[in-house]
Amino acid sequence: MTVLDHKDIKDAAAILRAGGLVAMPTETVYGLAADATNDQAVAKIFEAKGRPQFNPLIVHVAGPAMAKRYVAVPPLAEKLMAEFWPGPLTLVLPRKEDGKISLLVSAGLDTIGVRAPKHDLAQALIQSVDRALAAPSANRSGTISPTRADHVKDSLGDRVDMILDGGPSPVGVESTIVKIDGETVTLLRPGGIARADIERVIGCPLSSASGTIEAPGMMTSHYAPDANMRLDAREQKDGEAFLGFGAVKGDGPAALNLSESSDLAEAAANLFAYLREADRLAKTNGLKTIAVANVPMEGLGEAINDRLKRAAAPKA
């Protein structure tokens, strides 16, 4: 459990109420937080990240009661909140007309993605501010997501007013995002809650996304290192850094392994930090490509493969 520094929480809350930016730890990745009801504060997020404004932001709340200030919560959403909140599940729900969330947050859509983070510092900060916080990943848009405070500092520098250091993010991949429309639940982005676990709770298969950008992380190229990437690699070739998984291992100074024991939870927690380190090793050793071993498409493997595919996509 994180030891709370009440002065840091108080200082961070004051910055957010004044319209500033605070990088806060969550169980998934570090988020770049701003008051979600303040148009100018939300605009600072886009400016700091260099983020396309058609890409929506997730709103972070303390729990279901706070969520109901801003969005309509049907019974199916309440069921998912009861099972998975606080935790890495974002629900895309209809915004309330009187909810006061900035239209910049939802990129003009009539829905908002909300979640309750499972991290002591994030919860303490949200409760101290007592309003929703818009918080995409605390990094330059399109680059590797941050799972430690030093990643935020390296990526954003003085673009953020304060960084709350909560140690490494234990989940390491962003939240799963689902949209609820009546009795239909659509998977918009795989993440820290596995598809099968959600389907167990709702009692039916998840629908597939249409391809329209309705939530963060749906752009084709995202989470990208500077080096090129080669996926589903069976071995490390000359001129490559290597990210292994299980028994598929690389060799040399630019080889890492997401999980030598083939543990998908461990691989997810390591993913962004190891992508960042592999990119650094590639540069250091004059390599142009990061090869990545196959990761099974089961459980958290779906989220891992989604991030790897977007990281390997041609950059815009």
pLDDT in tens, 133-156: 999 999 998 889 999 999 999 999
Q: Consult the annotation and say whether 95 binds a ligand.
A: no
pLDDT tens for residues 156-192?
999 999 999 999 999 988 999 999 998 899 999 999 9
d(CA 239, CA 258) in angstroms, rounded, equals 20
In the chain, where the domains are located: 6-208, 228-312
Confidence tier at 2 by pLDDT (50, 70, 90): low
pLDDT tens for residues 273-314?
899 899 999 999 999 999 999 999 998 898 789 889 988 988
| CA separation, residue 262 to residues 229, 251, 282, 292 (Å) | 21, 18, 24, 14
Q: Consult the annotation and say whether 28 binds a ligand.
A: yes
Identity of the amino acid at 95: R
Q: Consult the annotation and say whether 276 binds a ligand.
A: no
d(CA 93, CA 113) in angstroms, rounded, equals 6
d(CA 312, CA 221) in angstroms, rounded, equals 7
d(CA 128, CA 190) in angstroms, rounded, equals 30
pLDDT over 90, % of the chain: 73
Which CATH superfamily hosts domain 6-208? Answer: DHBP synthase (3.90.870.10)
Confidence tier at 219 by pLDDT (50, 70, 90): low
pLDDT tens for residues 98-132?
999 998 888 778 899 999 999 999 999 999 999 99
Q: Consult the annotation and say whether 51 binds a ligand.
A: yes
Q: Consult the annotation and say whether 155 binds a ligand.
A: no
133: left (phi over 0), alpha (psi -120 to 50) or beta: beta
Q: Consult the annotation and say whether 111 binds a ligand.
A: yes
Q: C-alpha angle 229/232/237, rounded to 5°?
A: 65
Q: Consult the annotation and say whether 137 binds a ligand.
A: yes
Q: Consult the annotation and say whether 223 binds a ligand.
A: yes
Q: What is the pTM of this model?
A: 0.81
Mean pLDDT of the chain: 91
